[in-house]
Structure 1
Amino acid sequence: MKHAEAVQSEKILVGRLPTKQQPSSGARRPVTAELALQAAARGVPVQRVRRRELDALCRGRVHQGVCLEATPLRFKSLEEAEKPEVGDEERPKPRLVWLVLEQIQDPMNLGALLRSAYFLGVDRVVTSQRNSCPLTPTVSKASSGVMEVFDVYSTDDLRSFLKAKSAEGWEVVGTVSKPEDVENVPVISCLEFQWNKPVILVIGSEGDGLSLETQLLCHRMLTIPPGRALHPGIESLNVSVATGILLHSICSQKLRHGD
């Protein structure tokens, strides 16, 4: 549960199994009992319902006998981002990493991206509003719950946002699978990328990658070198996998510097 102020509008529903199934469900009973206790401690009502009611509420999806009824999570606007502390306004911290997503549409990809970003130490995730996947239950499940504890921001003017951050001293880094597809922007391997200023990694959509307009706002483009000669048609990685590799390459430098 992410927002304390929303607790009163949340409710946990626990499935009641038929009597003949109770022995086989013994291992699950301590888990559901613990969930009920945790919910009660937070003032969240617990309601026991028949299994078929739980199936209907979850629309046939896997639920493991427990369902949380909660208000939907939404993107935060960049205006809601926390203000810098006194003394930090003049110069951005050198080891900040933000992940910017341009038109990621698949909820499974978005969830996996949030999970990797959270695990690897990304400071903030920002998505474009246009043609982007909303924060849905599928995204939350794919993120393994990260969506519930990691704020996701959104902007309706991605290019103005990138221009503003660049003017503040941030390095904007894009991604590309084929270096020959990029003009007027330097392309380097992610293994060669070194940084000493706050950086924004921009990831494009699953099908088309970064738009040309966004590419031209990048200072450099990163590519992942393959480990073998690739068969035509199998020359790229899934967007969430590629992002995980790139973030590890970038964030590992952050860890080495003790930030």
Structure 2
Amino acid sequence: MSHASRRMISRRLLYGCLATREEIKLLQKSYTNHSSEGNGPEYNYSLSGRGKRSQKSFIGQKLDIAVQGEVLYGIHPISLALRAKKRQFYQLYLKKNTAFRAEAERAIEMAAKLSVPVVSVEKGVLDKLSGSRPNQGMCMDVSELPISTISSQIWTALKESRWKHPIWLMPYNVQDPMNFGAILRTSYFLGIDHVLAPQKNSCRLSPVVSKASSGALEVINMARIEEEKDILDTLQNWKQMGGVVIAASTAVLQGSTRIPLPDLLVDKPVFLIVGNEEKGISRTVMKQCDQAVYIAGSDAGLLGSLNVSVATGIILHHLVTENERIQD
């Protein structure tokens, strides 16, 4: 279905006009195909997020660049990736004839010190590399970010916490890359010790996540948990070491308590779990939680919950405010 036809039928439905069953089916199919195809490059997992340019803006364009890995885009993700040195760096692409601000210039200097090849290209090339997402005149071809799998060695980090009562976070099966990135950004800003993410049923740690996190993905302490049983083992180990497991949830199971956020005491190491955008936290994981904490709203009848990244930020701020920082 053409864009004009899709717009015509949508407008008729908007104003209460009737459409045939065949037209509605075609409209649904058109939007499904449009959203599934996307214009995100394959090396960036074809994730959504087209920015201001439509898909047809790239019709007839060819990208004469062989991408070796995946493409980071934007000043902060590139700058922090260069600083962290966790990835391999293949090529830095800069917009031609651009006066970059100081932070971008520092990133370019870091790339030069690391002997990263730098190429000046037209804006259209950068838009194509980033899938038309905001790139601030800078893209970089890099390897995937290596994320370790949780092991017994990670527990030594409890002794190195900056908090009197360590704070760990698990975004449980959070699938939206913008939500995941926002959670990482807040966690890094507030100084959370570790973030653990399930290997399955979570979004990929893609350049979209890195951009949404403002580069926090590149520098935060993070590990993967492969299986559900590994999650349960981790939570049991946490409690055996004297910690408490907190679920951000309005639900509560027998054996645990449900309390409003202001009543949550921070007097033990805290393992916070925030749930999937739609399904929340599984029943098996909830059974391992000592408490379920919730954020009271002014009118839950009209809007019953917060976005997962917003709720996470509010709870994490409470955990650090009620804690004691013992080192930077």
* Equivalence map 1:110-129=2 (5 Å): 110-129=180-199
Number of positions where the alignment pairs a residue of Structure 1 with one of Structure 2? 240
What letter matches 1:48 in structure 2? S
Q: Tell me which residue corresponds to 1:173.
A: 246
SS of match in other structure, 1:214:
helix
Aligned partners of 1:14 and 1:32 also within 8 Å: no
SS of match in other structure, 2:280:
coil
* Equivalence map 1:82-97=2 (5 Å): 82=154, 84=156, 94-97=164-167
Match of 1:158 among 231, 250, 262: 231
Matches of 2:86 and 2:294, distance apart in 1: 43
Aligned partners of 2:247 and 2:272 also within 8 Å: yes
Aligned partners of 1:75 and 1:151 also within 8 Å: no
Matches of 1:6 and 1:139, distance apart in 2: 15
SS of match in other structure, 2:322:
helix
Matches of 1:174 and 1:239, distance apart in 2: 12
Match of 1:55 among 127, 149, 154: 127
Match of 1:106 among 176, 200, 208: 176
What letter matches 1:210 in structure 2? I
Q: Does 1:38 align with 2:119?
A: no
* TM-score, normalization by structure 2: 0.66
Match of 2:313 among 238, 244, 253: 244
Matches of 1:142 and 1:2, distance apart in 2: 18
* TM-score, normalization by structure 1: 0.83
Q: Does 1:4 align with 2:85?
A: yes
What letter matches 2:128 in structure 1? A
Deviation for aligned residue 1:105: 0.5
What letter matches 1:143 in structure 2? S
What letter matches 2:249 in structure 1? V
What letter matches 1:44 in structure 2? V
Aligned partners of 2:164 and 2:326 also within 8 Å: no
Deviations 1:95-124 (A, max 9, x none): 100001211111001000001111112100
* Residue ranges of structure 1 left out of the alignment (5+ in a row): 18-24
Matches of 2:301 and 2:131, distance apart in 1: 41
Structure with the greater relative contact order (CA < 8 A, sep ≥ 6): 1 or 2?
Answer: 1
Matches of 1:249 and 1:167, distance apart in 2: 24
What letter matches 1:175 in structure 2? A
Deviation for aligned residue 1:127: 1.0
Matches of 1:31 and 1:97, distance apart in 2: 31
Deviations 1:2-46 (A, max 9, x none): 553645x332111225xxxxxxx5x54777655433321232221
- With over 3 angstroms needed to count, the CA separation of the structure-2 counterparts of 1:250 and 1:141, relative to structure 1, is same
* Residue ranges of structure 2 left out of the alignment (5+ in a row): 1-81
Aligned partners of 1:128 and 1:155 also within 8 Å: yes
SS of match in other structure, 2:318:
helix
Q: Tell me which residue corresponds to 2:258.
A: 187
Matches of 1:38 and 1:154, distance apart in 2: 29
Moved more, 27-36 or 53-62: 27-36
Aligned partners of 2:87 and 2:143 also within 8 Å: yes
Match of 1:131 among 191, 201, 221: 201
Matches of 1:42 and 1:81, distance apart in 2: 30
- With over 3 angstroms needed to count, the CA separation of the structure-2 counterparts of 1:65 and 1:127, relative to structure 1, is same
What letter matches 1:225 in structure 2? A
SS of match in other structure, 1:251:
helix
Q: Does 1:222 align with 2:300?
A: no
Matches of 2:90 and 2:260, distance apart in 1: 47
SS of match in other structure, 1:109:
helix
Matches of 1:144 and 1:78, distance apart in 2: 24
Matches of 2:105 and 2:290, distance apart in 1: 53
Q: Tell me which residue corresponds to 2:271.
A: 200
- With over 3 angstroms needed to count, the CA separation of the structure-2 counterparts of 1:109 and 1:31, relative to structure 1, is closer
